[in-house]
Amino acid sequence: MRARFGFAPRSRRRAAFARGTRLALEDLGPAFVKLGQVASVRPDLVPPEYVFEFERLQDACAPVPAADIERAVTRSLGRPLRELYAEFDPVPVASASIAQVHRATLARPVRPVFGDMLPAGTPVAIKVVRPGAACQIAADIVEARRVLGRAHRLGLARYLDAPRLLEEFAVSLGSELDLRTEGRVADRFAFDFRDDPLVFVPRIVWPLSARGVLTMEFVEGWRLTDLDDATRRGIDAYRLALHGAEVFMRQVLVTGRYHADLHPANLFVTPDSRICYLDFGIVGTTAPAQRVAIAQVLAATVYGDADRALRYSAELGLVVPPEREAEVRARVEELMATTLRVPGQPADIRGFAVGFLGIMADVRVAIPAGYGLLVKALVTVEGVARAIYPDIDIVTAAKPFATRLIAEEMVRPARLAERIPAALRAAMAELAR
């Protein structure tokens, strides 16, 4: 009640409004749930309280009748479903606003882009765009523009950039209608980690895939919310949690492509102790020129160096006005002390991220899109690691990797060549004293 009448602290008021907005989106229906999910990965457009509250939105819909799905598959692939698959389960595994997933088995062997042949009888998952989804999306976008446009005029602009968010919403929904994009990204991710024995990505069955249908290996395993049975069967949860954190850092800092929509529905632990990644609908990218700065920000965060974190954040587009630098540095240092360096407690990356983005909002510093997505992804990785092993300290886990990466970067010949003139100038200045 105090938050409703404006008596509570600002952070609590914002959290209360964010929760109320999430509940309203759920009441408005699937299109607005999807809008909230898009917002949850855009900290550059949406305040941090809303970003992390919207994570809780679940995209689930009543299933489409199996007969409609069979007709959609036949229309997309040009042949009757019964000729394409040996078996087809009419009961869906999952049903969301854009697509529905069914289990089936291959009628004949298929060779994937790389890896071993998939023999006839291999269990597969068929992801099918729901019939009429394109028309429904167009209507949803019109309705979202009407509702958010009115809310924007009534003061929503103080909290989020509704016009840009709507544009992002339209682009995101449009891309999700072409399942081939997800398939290509999945193959790329699998190729990037082809030599990692602890990472698994289902292989795509391209002869049975099209714009509206994506067929892939079916994954058996445990969701991150149900790992008790996995640990009882000997799964090394701590090892997987550590490795999962390192895999994310390799995505960001080495391959330049990272899964930006990790949550329990998109990750499994397989019976042979691997992490399985699913649903590559939202992927972030990092350019080579950005990766050194990102590594420096990561290292500064895990070592609690506010000055270095802000200095290299500026190279990534997050620029604090000179007249506010001292204030912001002091606030970030205090935040690090209370979230990352509390004796006897694991670091709280989520608390740090919410506080950091809140500080930037207070001083009216714009969050670059890529920077915001990266912060959100790092918080999600901490959540994933703790879902696998609740007592993990993600900062402690990140230190060796961040330190090693920066050390390797500093001794590269090109980097040494860049630094030699500055080193010589410093030496000459010292000799001249």
Known catalytic residues are 261
Instruction: Choose among 286, 289, 288, 308: nearest CA to 298.
Output: 308
Task: Say how far apart CA 303 and CA 225 lie, in whole Å.
Answer: 30
Task: Say how far apart CA 197 and CA 214 lie, in whole Å.
Answer: 25
The answer to whether 122 and 208 are in contact (CB under 8 A) is no
Helix (H) or strand (E) holding 124: strand 123-129
Count how many residues are written for the chain: 433
The pair of three-digit structure tokens given for residue 296, joined into one six-digit string: 């420096």
The answer to whether 382 and 237 are in contact (CB under 8 A) is no
Within 10 angstroms of residue 356's Cβ, the number of other Cβ atoms is 25
CA angle at 404 for the pair 403 and 405, rounded to the nearest 5°? 95
Instruction: Choose among 420, 398, 310, 388: nearest CA to 349.
Output: 398
Within 10 angstroms of residue 168's Cβ, the number of other Cβ atoms is 19
Task: Say how far apart CA 314 and CA 393 lie, in whole Å.
Answer: 27
DSSP letters, 87-123, are: EE-SS-SEE-SSEEEEEEEESS-B--SSSS-B-TT-E
Packing angle of the helix pair 325-339, 306-315 (nearest 10 deg): 120
Task: Say how far apart CA 199 and CA 45 lie, in whole Å.
Answer: 32
Q: How many CA atoms, within 13 angstroms, populate the side-chain half-sphere of residue 324? A: 14
Task: Say how far apart CA 421 and CA 433 lie, in whole Å.
Answer: 19
